[in-house]
Amino acid sequence: MVSIITLVVWTTSGTFMLMFLAALQNVPVALDEASTLDGATRWQWFRHVTLPMIKPTMFLVLTLGLIGCWQVFDQVYVMSQGDPAKTTLTPAYLSYRTAFRDFDYGSGAAISFVLFLIIIVFTVLQRWLMADREPTGARRGPWWRRRVRQGG
């Protein structure tokens, strides 16, 4: 199992690093200069400027990683086919094995559908956890109750 994990990390980490590199290059230099003038340390700059700017990319990478973890198939198929003693059996490979080796197409489709639901639930949960939230005291109410200020 360790060799399969190593292979999956090796094959996907380059893509994820490329996405993070593009996101980091998209952070404006003016924000770095402004935070330096405000007296922010490197940690404060990273936490309050860089992380919020790359948050959409973090969501994308985490979502793709989550989907990739649940759908590992080709590495298991090539390296171990779920053996020894089904220790490397993943949901995607189990679906394939049930449908096309045991010829139980209904159960294979059901496993795939449950895998789909698990991925959707985790993606929605992750989106909810990473959502931008306003502080509790600064809640402004529903959009239809907000009024536009007139004058100055």
Q: pLDDT digits over 140-150, tens only?
A: 566 556 566 66
- Taking the C-alpha atoms of residue 152 and residue 150, their distance in angstroms, rounded to an integer, is 7
Q: What angle do CA 52, 55, 61 make, to 5 degrees?
A: 155
**Domain spans, the chain:** 2-132
Angle at 22 between CA 38 and CA 28, to 5 degrees: 25
Q: Is residue 152 over pLDDT 60? A: no
Tell me the C-alpha distance between 90 and 83, whole Å: 11
According to the model, what pLDDT value does residue 141 have? 60
b/e 27-37 (16+ beta carbons within 10 angstroms → b): eeeeeeeebee
pLDDT at 63: 93
The predicted-structure confidence for 56-99, as pLDDT tens digits, reads as follows 999 999 999 999 888 888 888 888 887 888 888 889 999 999 99
CA–CA separation, 109 and 102 (whole Å) = 13
In whole angstroms, what is the distance from residue 100 CA to residue 13 CA? 31
Asked if pLDDT for residue 135 goes beyond 90, the answer is: no
Of 68 and 135, the one with more pLDDT? 68
CATH of segment(s) 2-132: 1.10.3720.10
Look up the pTM and report it.
Answer: 0.74
In this predicted structure, what is the pLDDT of residue 81? Answer: 85
Q: What is the pLDDT of residues 45-54, one digit of tens each?
A: 999 999 999 9
In tens, the pLDDT along 3-37 reads: 888 988 999 999 999 999 999 999 999 998 899 89
b/e 73-103 (16+ beta carbons within 10 angstroms → b): eebbeeebebeeeeebebbbbbbbbbbeeee
Per the listing, tokens 């985490």 go with 62
Instruction: Check residue 80 and give its pLDDT.
Output: 87
Amino acid sitting at position 95: S
pLDDT digits (tens, 9 = 90+) for 104-130: 999 999 999 999 999 999 999 999 998
What is the separation of C-alpha 63 from the centre of its chain, rounded to a whole number of angstroms? 2
